[in-house]
Amino acid sequence: MENTQKVRDSLQRAPSNREQAEAMGWIDANYHEANPWHGQSKKKPVFSLGKPLPRVTRWPKESGNAAITTRPPVKSSEDLAELGEAVSRTEPNAEKEASTAEGGSSKKRRTAAGVSHGDRRNDAGLPVFEYQPRDDSTTRRERTNDTADTKKSNRSNPNFGIDSEPIGQREHNDVEEGEKDPNELRNWWARVRAKHPEPLAEFLATGIAVFMGLGATLSVNLSANQETKYGSYETSCWAWGFAWMFGIYLGGGVSGAHMNPAISISLSMFRGFPWRSCVVYILVQFLASIVAGALAYGIYRDTIRYVDPTMSNMAKTFFSSPQEWVSPGTAFFDQVVGGAIMMIAVFALGDDQNNPPGAGMHALVLGLLVTTLKFTLGYNIGSALNPASDFGPRLVAWAVGYRGQEVFQNGWWFYGPWLATVVGSIIGCVLYDGFIFVGSESPINYKLNGGFKKRTRRLFDFASNK
């Protein structure tokens, strides 16, 4: 009993400032009073390129878009007997605890220390426990209502706190229990940012990534005919890869840092990314690319006017364009292959049942992927692989005076970086999900219900009768 009391005391003890500083970095004692939202778990999944993709329930529709966090149902003794499996002596208690935790009337799980678990879970899908001290009167009533068999079972299988599940850290009780509004401590802009964090993070990540990549390309191309050259084509490839890596590190934890309409569309079709958010992301990505292109031109304007005073030779620096000897079909196929490889890599890195890289390594691997695709497929067309990063600077080039046929007149701007990349991305998703992915959130793995098959059969029967 003495050991049990020590365990209870250790569970009830709040973490000290020193422990918090060691676990999370230095935190002032009164920091949470001014920032009560710090450390709260996210209220919805983040479809990020910087970590494994979330597992969501998409089918059937009535199940909503909630994360799959429930445990497998506990088999009854009859089911285990039919399967020839051994029945544990403590199984009735396990079934009782499982029903209470996952679908029972109380929706809570308690330990000897008074720790309870409702339906709250963190980003990793693990249960978040809250400390709620046991009421002595409630405990006495429970003991009174217990039967002799239950008492005997509890004595033989004590539920000590040392055997319980870990307790989730509570950052600020007033906010988490709904007793205080976090907006009371925010100014007007902090309230806007708290209401729309994903679009703002996506804008910043996309804008900086496109700006750094385009700036490197301008630096290389503008100095190509000068005595002192600032890099080569390989320099541009590496710059785009590192720029994309930095963009994922910058916004991956908030918006997911898609930075590419083809990626957002693919995640909506095959992983359950909300379509409304997808539309917002695409608009933000295009807007960020336009701003990045304008910023790059503003910085290099004097050099562009010096190297290309007629505004006719440096247009292709801002966007992708097929070589003169490359046919439209070959250029289209080039982009399709690049888009397919890109999404296969994105899905492989985001599949937690495959072989994802270690924590924080997703961005580095995707940055190396972008560099490799530029090396591999860049000679024929420049390898845009991103409708936003191609269209935004292209629009800026047209606005500042480039009016050549390669800007908007030959149609490549649509069927190349846009159509071919999206088609290739969808093909890549189908290939990965058809060969490797096992999750039912993908339409490749979802079993069509009988109603749809019957409606399809009736449609063909109706057509044949006519």
Residue 47: what are its φ and ψ, rounded to 5°? Answer: -85, 80
Q: What is the sign, positive or negative, of the torsion defined by CA atoms of 106, 110, 116, 117?
A: negative
CB-count exposure of residue 460 (10 Å: 0-12, 13-18, 19+):
exposed
Could you tell me how many helices (H) and strands (E) the chain has, helices first? 20, 3
Residue partners of 237: CB distance under 8 A and separation at least 6? 371, 374, 375, 378
> What's phi and psi for 39, nearest 5 deg?
85, 0
- Rounded to the nearest 10 degrees, what angle do helices 261-271 and 421-435 cross at? 30
d(CA 449, CA 384): 40
* DSSP letter for each residue of 298-338: HHHHHHHHHH-TTS-SSGGGSS----TTS-HHHHHHHHHHH
Residue ranges covered by each domain of the chain: 2-189, 192-435
C-alpha 387/C-alpha 281 separation (Å) is 13
CATH code for the domain defined by 192-435:
1.20.1080.10
β pairing state of 109-110 and 130-131: unpaired
Residues ≥6 apart with Cβ < 8 Å to 361: none
User: CA 341 to CA 348: how far, in whole Å?
Assistant: 10
Instruction: Please report, in tens digits, the pLDDT of each residue of the chain (466 residues total).
Output: 555 555 455 444 445 545 555 455 777 777 777 777 676 677 788 888 888 888 888 876 544 444 444 555 555 555 555 555 544 444 444 444 444 444 444 455 555 555 566 666 666 666 666 656 655 555 555 555 555 555 445 544 444 444 444 433 444 555 555 556 666 777 878 888 888 889 999 999 999 999 999 999 999 999 887 877 888 889 999 999 999 999 999 999 899 999 999 999 999 999 999 999 999 999 999 999 999 999 999 999 999 999 888 888 888 889 888 888 989 999 999 999 999 999 999 999 999 888 888 878 999 999 999 999 999 998 888 877 899 999 999 999 999 988 888 888 888 889 989 999 999 999 999 999 999 998 888 889 887 665 555 655 655 665 555 5
